[in-house]
Structure 1
Amino acid sequence: MSKFAELLNTQDILLGVEATNKPGLFELVGQHMEQTYQLPRSCVTTSLLRREQAGSTGIGEGVAVPHARLSELDSIHVLYLRPKEFIAFNTPDRKPVSDIIVLLVPAPASPLHLDLLAEIAHMFSDNKFREELDRCKNEQEIKNLFDCRS
């Protein structure tokens, strides 16, 4: 099993997300992290927005990987989100995104942070994988698909 799959919990797979823009998306991520892990919402939202202002985390082909370092974290958290409507993310190919991987890491970041970003980029560069992911209809199917990607 990949390190990404090991870190992704079914409760952190959010489908049909009601967000129409990046700030709204990051606010929802902050709400989820506060409700699920008691992490202050504002820390998550602000860190993701600050990182996005430094440069878009949209990688293209309908995928974005917003990520941030938070001193409040003790361990890495990953989330997979699928918005109800595509979101503009200033991607290199100018396509809106439908698959969003959020990576939250403790500050200072470890080399694992970069390894995870590389693993995610490699996984989502595979057209067949993205098609299989689009066919997944619920959280468990998505988790199973990520688990099988070793």
Structure 2
Amino acid sequence: MVKLAEHLSVNDILLGVDVPNKSGLFELVGQHMEQTHKLPRHCVTTSLLRREQAGSTGLGDGVAVPHARLSELDTIHALYLRPRGPMAFNASDRKPVSDIVVLLVPAPAAPLHLDLLAEIARLFSDQNFREELDQCENEQEIMSLLDRS
């Protein structure tokens, strides 16, 4: 079974992010990926926006999983973001989002990224897990929780 923690580092956990909307969120992700992983900001931002235009990646229960394929990648990159306050995301349940997992995967897509999406959906559909996650106060605590889950 594939685990989110295998594709996430402490440096890619961003807490208390102050973004006004999805576009601002995707800009922030693009900046982070450029600074941290040397990926072109524009490619990351554009790919996430394009995917979101095809349909909301808000899963419901306060969780969103924006994802995109990038030809510039050779491995999966994951980010976990917690906005300063819940934000609108057009989720099917119309609830705002406070847990965001971004997946950037190599193009063309491989079955591994679909397995990872399924694992994230399973993990974040568990109310106990989300409550534990909400109690985490820093990046290390979140990484530990994900390692155990």
TM-score normalized by the length of structure 2: 0.98
Q: Is the Cα–Cα contact under 8 Å of residues 2 and 147 in structure 1 kept in the other structure?
A: no
Cα displacement (A) at 1:4: 1.3
Match of residue 80 from structure 1: 80
Match of residue 95 from structure 1: 95
SS where residue 105 of structure 2 aligns? strand
Gaps of 5+ in 1: none
Cα displacement (A) at 1:2: 4.7
Moved runs in structure 1, 4+ residues, more than 6 A? none
SS where residue 90 of structure 2 aligns? coil
Match of residue 68 from structure 2: 68
Q: Is the Cα–Cα contact under 8 Å of residues 20 and 85 in structure 1 kept in the other structure?
A: no
Provide Cα deviations, 1:43-94, integer angstroms capped at 9, x if missing partner: 0000000000000000000000000000011110000000002110000110
Counterpart residue identity of residue 96, structure 1: P
Residues in 2 aligned to 1:142 and 1:72: alpha-carbon distance in whole angstroms:
28
Match of residue 130 from structure 2: 130
Q: Is the Cα–Cα contact under 8 Å of residues 2 and 116 in structure 2 kept in the other structure?
A: no
SS where residue 4 of structure 2 aligns? helix
Counterpart residue identity of residue 101, structure 1: V
Which is further off, 39-48 or 2-11? 2-11
CA RMSD of aligned residues (A): 0.9
Gaps of 5+ in 2: none
Residues in 2 aligned to 1:86 and 1:22: alpha-carbon distance in whole angstroms:
12
Match of residue 28 from structure 1: 28
Match of residue 120 from structure 1: 120
Provide Cα deviations, 1:27-49, integer angstroms capped at 9, x if missing partner: 00000000001100000000000
Q: Is the Cα–Cα contact under 8 Å of residues 63 and 98 in structure 1 kept in the other structure?
A: yes
